[in-house]
Structures are given as structure tokens and as C-alpha cells.
Amino acid sequence: MKRRAGVRNAVGKCVAVPRRKRDARKSLALAIFGARPAFAEQLHVGRPNIGNRGRFLARLNDILDRRWLTNRGQYVIELERRIARLAGARNCILVTNGTIGLELLIRALGLRGEVIVPAFTFVATAHALQWQEITPVFADIDRETHCLDPRSVEAAITPRTTGIIGVHLWGRPCAIDELSSLAGRHKLKLMFDAAHAFGCSHGGRMIGSFGEAEVFSFHATKIMHTFEGGAIVTNNDDLAEKLRLMQNFGFQGYDKVVYLGINGKMSEVSAAMGLTNLESLDEVIERNRANYRAYAKHLAELPGVKLFPYDDRHRSNYQYVVALVGDDAPLTRDELVTVLHTENVMARRYFYPGLHRMEPYRTYFPDAHRLLPRTEQVCREVLILPTGTSVTGNNVARICAVIRTAIEHAVPVRERLLRQGPPTP
């Protein structure tokens, strides 16, 4: 009896692969078969964008000449002013990094007990709560936006709930209107982790002015960076004043401490990098958009693989190129990651395996996955591909050629990977 031609996909279903492609292993130009890797050097997700080097160095010299290095110097003040304007918020408080920004805001808002967050986010969102002995309660996400599903949030509310942290994942705004009315009805504080969403909008309004406050990350890998850094933006002047004191040990003047505070200040050198990067933000977004379009073109009509869509009603920074490798794809996401890494394309599985499967949350909530079916699904599918100013259109074409070759020759590729042993990631 003739055997069916194909490979088993992620859910064990047989997916057809054309005969011509199944028998082509000898001519396959993939590094897993011994060919030269597609890239001589590793191509990373999150390679920092560097703005005008000359302007940064001039600012650096000025800082050294003036010997004012930190404690809200003129570059920090100037960057705060520009970010507040860009984000459409009255106040901006620059901080050491996004995680400290989240921690400060959580404390300044007086959150305690339980706070609802997605499990599909970077671990800092939950750690910022747990670090302060507040329990993060995981709600499921929407399959289309990868952000909190308001129905799942509502189902997670208990008498101990004091707040909700929405995350604008990949820079795509979460369900801001629904979450706002939910928070209003249940008298909960609503804040946003906007680490990915600098330069993005929700309808006609920039991300930065929603909820009680929003927090950006300016880590080196972000579209706009200050080496390490972050910002809290808010229209609430009292909250801003409190945050400013808390980030500087609680000092009000030289000798008077009025709050329990920490050191969450940004240095002048970081602010100088931020100002320099801000000047080229539009060019960086344009490059990201062009790369996104190139990926969309080159990956079109590939079985089981599609790009996470950005909603045209909102402005986006296109900082993440998110490919979704479905259960119907001839290769799994993890198999593709191994193929790409062998080609020196360091694709990432953000935010696998989901916070509910990481410590300490895995131990605290061993059954959480039962309540998070869409998080589980998306964690299996997401493949982040390199973009940014160090990635050219030719690079994108070559990365996509690797993916296409692997998918179209799934049978020999899988056989080879099985012989090779467990995947690298």
C-alpha cells in the first residue's frame, strides 16, 4: 500500500508536502545539511538602534565638561519634556529601567492583594508585583491582539483584587476602553505596561495618557533606548509628584524625607542617548515598517506561517516582527528556530513558555495553564524575527528564503533535526 506523502505537524496531523520537495535533500542549501550559514555573523532580534553618533558624543563631552552626571540634570529634564509631549501626557518621570518604573507605579498607586496581568508578557510585568508581595493573577489573552481579554479579566476579579495591568504587547494597544470601563465598574486601578509601545497610538491618541499611568521601557533592545532606562507618564499631577519623590529616596529638599523611596533615577549619559535616539525615531520606525512589509511579501502564502497583523487604525512602531507558526504548518515553531539559529539568524520565542510556567509562578499556580488556553496556544506559535536599523531588505529576503526552503522541504529537514538531537534553544 502506498504511504501518504507528508509530515506530522505540531498536533500530529499529517500535512502534505510535494514529492519533488521531499526528495530534494541533496540540493538543500541549508546549514543543517552542511551548507554555509546564510549569515557569516549572528543576526539578533533587538540589536540596538544607534542614532547620530556625533551628536551623542558632543552631548557626552558637554556632560563631562559641566560635571553634572545624574540627579535630574538638564538632559534628563529635556528628555522628560520631549517624551511627555510625544506621549500626550502632562508628566514624565524618567527612571532607571522599565521594571523599576512598574514597581514605583504599583507602589505609588497603593496596589496590594491581587492584581490581574497577562501571563503572555515579559517576566518583569509579574515580578514587579511579586517583588512587593502582591499576587499577580493571570488572565487569558485575545487570540488576535495577544493582549488581555477583558472577559477573562472580569472572571478573575475577587474581593482581594485592587488593580489591572494591561500590556500593549508588540506595541499593539490592548482593549483600553473595555478595561477602563471594567476597572471603573469594579473600582480597580488600571495601569499599563507600555514597554513595547513608545510612539504607538490608540486611535487618534498616543499611548502614554491612558489609565492612571503608563510605563515605557528604554532598554537597549527597544525602539527608543537610553542604554538602560524607562519612563512613567501620567496626566495625574499628584501621582507624578509622589513618583518623583519616591524615585529619589523620598527626599523633599536636602534634609527632609517624606516617603519610603528608592533610587530610581536616570543618569545624564542615558538621557543624552535618549535625546539622540529620539531625533532619529521616525527613520527607525520607517525602517521597521519597510522590513515588516518585506517580511509580509516574502512569507506570503507559506503554509501555516503568517505575520501578526498591526491594526491600521492605530499608529505602530513595528519594533517586533512576529511570525505565527500555526499547528497546520509542516514544521513546528521550535524546529524553525533551530533551522534559523544554525543559519545565524537568532530568532526568539518571546514570551515562551508563559509566566505561569516560570518560577515562582509555576509553583504557586500549578494548574494555571488550564485557565489560559489562548496563552498556551500563542506561546507555541510566536517566532520573533530580526528587524531594526541593522537589518536590511536583503537580509529579510535571505531570512525568508531560509524559512521557505525549510517549510517546503519539511520531510528531510525534520529527519535531519531528529538525527541531530534536541534543539538548541
Q: Which residues pair with 148 in a beta bridge?
A: 141
Q: Count other C-beta atoms under 10 Å from residue 185's C-beta.
A: 10
Pick the closer one to ligand T4K by CB: 128 or 411.
Answer: 128
Does 167 contact ligand T4K by CB under 6 A? yes
Q: Name which of 98 and 136 has its Cβ closer to ligand T4K.
A: 98
**Residues of this chain, 224-253, that bind ligand T4K according to CB under 6 A:** 230
* Angstrom distance (rounded) from CA 130 to CA 354: 16
**Interface positions, 302-361, toward ligand T4K (CB under 6 A):** 346, 350
Q: How far is the CB of 219 from ligand T4K (least distance, A)?
A: 3
Please tell me whether residue 219 binds ligand T4K under the rule CB under 6 A. yes
Instruction: Annotate each residue in 98-137 with x if it binds ligand T4K (CB under 6 A) or - if it does not, as one string.
Output: xx---------------------xx-xx------------
Q: Which amino acid is at 310?
A: Y
Q: Is 150 exposed, middle or buried (0-12, 13-18, 19+ CB in 10 A)?
A: buried
Calculate the alpha carbon distances from 208 to 93, 200, 219, 236, 339 in Å. 12, 9, 17, 12, 39
Question: CA–CA separation, 121 vs 421, rounded Å?
Answer: 30
Q: Which is nearer to ligand T4K, 44 or 374 (CB)?
A: 44
Angle between helices 74-87 and 268-279 (to 10 degrees): 40
Choice between 326 and 425, CB closer to ligand T4K: 425
Nearer to ligand T4K, 31 or 167 (CB): 167
- DSSP letter at 414 equals H
Residues numbered 363 to 422 that lie near ligand T4K (CB under 6 A) are none
Stretch that binds ligand T4K, among 45-53, 256-264, 398-406, 413-421 (CB under 6 A): 45-53
| Min separation Cβ 195 and ligand T4K, Å | 3
Residues 126 and 120: beta-carbon distance below 8 Å: no
> Going by C-beta distance under 8 Å and a sequence separation of 6 or more, which residues neighbour residue 17?
5, 6, 7, 330, 408, 409, 410, 411
User: One symbol per residue from 196 to 215: x for binding ligand T4K (CB under 6 A), - otherwise; what is it?
Assistant: x-------------------
Closest residue to bound ligand T4K by CB: 98
Site for ligand T4K in 64-103 (CB under 6 A): 97-99
Across 129-138, b (16+ Cβ under 10 Å) vs e yields: bbeeebbbbb
Q: Quick one: which of 179, 269, 197 has its CA closest to 233?
A: 197
Stretch that binds ligand T4K, among 110-118, 189-197, 243-251, 412-420 (CB under 6 A): 189-197
Q: How many residues make contact with ligand T4K (CB under 6 A)?
A: 23
**Could you tell me which stretch among 46-54, 308-316, 356-364, 395-403 binds ligand T4K (CB under 6 A)?**
46-54
Report d(CA 35, CA 424) in Å as an integer: 18
Q: Does 220 bind ligand T4K (CB under 6 A)?
A: yes
Of 28, 46, 126, 164, the one binding ligand T4K by CB under 6 A: 46
Task: Please give the Cα distance from 55 to 52 (Å, whole number).
Answer: 6
Taking CB under 6 A as the rule, does residue 162 contact ligand T4K? no
Sequence letter at residue 123: V
Residue count (the chain): 425
Note the residues at the interface with ligand T4K (CB under 6 A): 44-48, 97-99, 121-122, 124-125, 167, 193, 195-196, 217, 219-221, 230, 346, 350
